[in-house]
Amino acid sequence: MDKWSVRPPAVAGMFYPLDGKALMRQVVELIERAKPKKIRGSLKALISPHAGYPYSGLTAAFGYKLLEGKKIDSVVIISPSHHEYFDGVSVYPGTSYITPLGEVNIDLELRREILENDGILKATIQGHIEEHAIEVQLPFLQIVLEDFKFLPIVIGNQTKEHCYKVGDLIGKVLKDRNALVIASTDLSHYHPYDVALELDKVAIDDIKNFDYEKLLKDIDEQNTEACGGGPAATAMIAAKKLGANKAEILHSCNSGDITGEKGGVVGYVSAALFKSV
C-alpha cells in the first residue's frame, strides 16, 4: 500500500508524552485518579474530550475507567476534522495507527462492511493525517483494553444528514458485534470562564437528556459550542440503535479549572451512553 498504510503519531510530544514509558505512567495515573459514577447497564458509547492530557486527560479518564476489565473487540472512534474541510465522511484506508505505546490495527472487516452499506463514507486519508482528536483517544484504549481493533471515522461536514446516516449505519453494523463507539469532542472555545460555563451547560444538558436532535439544533443556533458536536450526535444515534436509553455525565470542566487562567477557556465533558438495567 502507499506510505499512509500505517498512520504515524501526529501530536506525540505535544498533546501527550512522546516517550512510551512516560505516556504509560501518565495515562495510568489519570485513570487511577478518575472516580466515575457506576454505570448500571450495558455501555454502548462514550463521549470523550481531545485536548492535551494536562488539560482534558482527567476528564477523558473518567470514561476510560469504565472499560477496565472489559473485553471489547472493536472500537469505532468518530472525530471532527480540525485541519482540513471536506464534504463527506472519511474512513482511514490504511492498516493501523501508531502511538508511542505501539500499533493499533484497523478493523478491516468492519470497514469493508461499513463501506459496502452506504456511499456517504469513503476510504480516504482526508482528515486523518494531522488530526489529533482520534489519536489522543488511543493511548487510553491501549492501557485499559488488552486487545482490540478500531475504526477511525472523521466527519468533514457535520450536517444533520451526515450525522443521522452515519449514526444509523454504525448502529446497524455493530448490532451483533462486541463493540464500543467513542465520539471525540471538546466544548466551547476561548470564551471568558463564566460565559463558557453557560454555553457548555447547554451541550451537557442535551447529552444528559440523550437529545441529539436538540444538541445539533443548539449548535446550529449558536446556543452552545462543540467542535465535535456532529460526532457526539452521531455516537448518540448509533448508541440508541444499539439499545442505549440513558446518558450519564461522568465529568466536566474547562481549561480554566486546570490552569487558573479564566480569560479564554476550552470546555471538556466525558459521558457514557448505556442500556440501563
pTM of the shown model: 0.97
By three-state DSSP, how is residue 44 classified?
A: strand
Number of Cβ within a 10 Å radius of residue 255? 24
Q: Which domains are present in the chain? A: 6-276 (3.40.830.10)
Cβ atoms within 10 Å of 91's Cβ, excluding its own: 22
Rg value, the chain, Cα:
17
The cell numbers describing 127, all together, are 482528515
Per-residue pLDDT reduced to its tens digit, 76-130 = 999 999 988 888 899 999 999 999 999 999 999 999 999 998 678 999 999 999 9
Q: How confident is the model at residue 1 (pLDDT cuts 50, 70, 90)?
A: very low
The full length of the chain comes to: 277
Cβ neighbors of 241 (< 8 A, separation 6 or more) are 167, 168, 170, 171, 172, 175
Q: Report the helix count and the strand count for the chain, using DSSP H and E.
A: 10, 12
d(CA 259, CA 130): 26
pLDDT of residue 85: 85
Give 3's pLDDT tier (boundaries 50, 70, 90): confident
